[in-house]
Homo-oligomer: A and B are copies of this chain.
Amino acid sequence: MNELVTIFKALSDETRLRIVKLLEQGELCVCDIVAALDMVQPKVSFHLSALKEAGFLKDRKQGRWTHYSLNDNDLFRRMLLLSVCERVSREAVREDRTRLASFMEKKGSKGTVISIKAQGKRCCGPGALSRHRPA
């Protein structure tokens, strides 16, 4: 019962739903999410860790970056993530997407990028992680 409570609690916060919706497109590192949500980094880390504790996210450490992505190991959680992505309108996260895109661009042009093969890990939704996604 406790696990169930943790699962639902993780999804009962707007910021966390926005994070899920962002990750629908594929993995992101913390600084991407910080830019997309336009929030301070500890706040984002707090919510990421709530989602991770509940089993919704996995992380991949690489150098100084931590990349988070939706965790599709468990069918129930996957179904919930899918429901969330379906139900959070494109409109609701348009600005997040805009900020993310412009942050990505800035990173690209800065030349501080380390080249990584894009990893097409996806949990749900129609799109696929397509962009070349270094940090």
Contact = CB atoms under 8 A, between A and B. Distances in A.
Contacts of A116: none
B92 A1 contact: yes
A12 B5 contact: yes
A14 interface: yes
10 contacts: A1-B14, A1-B89, A4-B11, A4-B84, A5-B12, A5-B14, A5-B17, A8-B11, A12-B12, A76-B87
Interface string A1-32: 11011001101111001100000000000000
A88 B4 contact: yes
Nearest to A87: B4
The dominant DSSP class at the A interface is helix
A119 interface: no
Interface in A27-72: none
| Chain copies in complex | 2
A75 to B, nearest CB: 11
A17 B6 CA distance: 12
A3 to B, nearest CB: 8
Given A8-B11, A11-B8, A12-B8, A1 B76 contact: no
